């Protein structure tokens, strides 16, 4: 089974890029909380709790990938037949055992923070619920992109709340509405990745693309407007001591350049690596801004 898990990781969760993005997410968003939360007077620095959060995100995103692959199995057999589950390199049972084993490990390493543990348990439970509803009711259909996104969104949202709980535990702080603002900022930044990676001028028959929902101009407009609004909110909401907050505008050059190239060329799809690169650079920016906020 371990060998089959390895084939799943290699085919659906490329280790280098996946681990890099998960760690950048954990360290970057925690830095964002430090940049926004005004009651934290001391200089923020990553600690053991941040490292635990990074490991948690690496594993949790792997489990979420497994859940998504199970839900999208029929679609992948038609459109992505080389993925491990679709081509039979791993079974649904293998992935369910992976999810169960990974969940036990995650809960164990987060036992030191009861609030973070509770949020994480809720996130894992929600993923299980989504998978169970899909199995028994075949709902929602993956072809209904917006509905499917809304159903999946709480799992991502709870990961941000988990990071916030971890941050508050390390900083010995209570909750505030500034934490909600930080989560809105990072969610808006993530909208770009979700939409841009599926932008195509002419979706193939049966292909799932937001272009079918919002049109090409609408999808492109939302994909570009969301990160811009995210940067504006960060600059406006950052603590006065977060002197590097204006750096939030720099990552916007990446979606702007990708949009310009897409518009000027005849290529069918948005530049493939650009959305993930934007989010990675944005998370790195959050980390630097957080370090500067003390």
Contacts 24+ apart (CB under 8 A), 161-164: 161/119, 162/53, 162/56, 162/116, 162/119, 162/120, 162/123, 163/26, 163/29, 163/30, 163/33, 163/53, 163/57, 164/33
Judge contact between 34 and 18, C-beta under 8 A.
no
The reported pLDDT for the residue numbered 287 is: 97
Other CB atoms within a 10 A radius of the CB of residue 170 amount to 22
The tens-digit pLDDT sequence of the chain (294 residues) is: 999 999 999 999 999 999 999 999 999 999 999 999 876 656 789 999 999 999 999 999 999 999 999 999 999 999 999 999 999 999 999 999 999 999 999 999 999 999 999 999 999 999 999 999 999 999 998 889 999 999 999 999 999 999 999 999 998 888 888 999 999 999 999 999 999 999 999 998 889 999 999 999 999 999 999 999 999 999 999 988 888 999 999 999 999 999 999 999 999 999 999 999 999 999 999 999 999 887
Round to the nearest angstrom and report the end-to-end CA distance of the chain: 47
pLDDT of residue 47: 95
Cross-strand pairs, 269:
200
163, exposed or middle or buried, with CB in 10 Å at 0-12, 13-18, 19+? buried
Report the distance separating Cα 4 and Cα 88, nearest Å.
10
- Closest by CA position to 7, among listed 96, 111, 87, 114: 87
Return d(Cα 164, Cα 158) in angstroms, integer.
Answer: 10
Tokens for 44, please give them: 């923020």
In whole angstroms, give the CA distance from residue 56 to residue 228: 29
Q: Which residues pair with 200 in a beta bridge?
A: 269
Contact 86, 42 (CB under 8 A): no
CA distance 230 to 248: 9
Specify the pLDDT at position 37: 84
- Dig out the tokens for 257 from the structure: 């350049």
Which among 271, 281, 292 has a CA at the least distance from the CA of 230? 281
pLDDT value of position 41: 55
Question: In sequence order, what are the residues at sequence separation of 6 or more whose Cβ sits closer than 8 angstroms to the Cβ of residue 121?
Answer: 107
């Amino acid at each position: 089974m371990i060998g089959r898990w390895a084939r799943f990781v290699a085919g659906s969760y490329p280790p280098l890029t996946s681990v890099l993005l998960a760690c950048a997410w954990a360290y970057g968003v925690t830095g964002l909380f430090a940049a926004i939360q005004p009651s934290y007077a001391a200089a923020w620095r990553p600690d053991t709790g941040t490292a635990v959060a990074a490991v948690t995100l690496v594993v949790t995103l792997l489990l979420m990938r497994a859940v998504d692959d199970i839900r999208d199995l029929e679609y992948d057999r038609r459109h992505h037949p080389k993925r491990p589950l679709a081509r039979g390199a791993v079974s649904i049972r293998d992935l369910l055992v992976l999810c169960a084993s990974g969940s036990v490990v995650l809960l164990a390493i987060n036992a030191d923070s009861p609030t973070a543990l509770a949020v994480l348990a809720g996130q894992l439970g929600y993923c299980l619920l989504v998978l169970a509803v899909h199995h028994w009711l075949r709902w929602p259909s993956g072809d209904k992109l917006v509905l499917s996104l809304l159903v999946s969104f709480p799992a991502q949202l709870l990961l941000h709340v988990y990071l916030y709980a971890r941050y508050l535990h390390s900083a010995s702080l209570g909750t505030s509405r500034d934490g909600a603002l930080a989560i809105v900022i990072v969610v808006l930044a993530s909208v770009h990745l979700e939409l841009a990676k599926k932008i195509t001028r002419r979706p193939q028959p049966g292909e799932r693309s937001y272009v079918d929902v919002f049109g090409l101009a609408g999808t492109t407009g939302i994909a570009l407007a969301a990160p811009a609004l995210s940067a504006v909110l960060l600059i406006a909401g950052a603590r006065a001591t977060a002197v590097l907050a204006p750096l939030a505008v720099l990552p916007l050059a990446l979606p702007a350049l990708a949009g310009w190239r897409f518009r000027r060329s005849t290529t069918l799809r948005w530049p493939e690596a650009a959305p993930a690169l934007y989010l990675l650079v944005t998370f790195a920016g959050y980390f630097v801004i957080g370090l500067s906020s003390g």
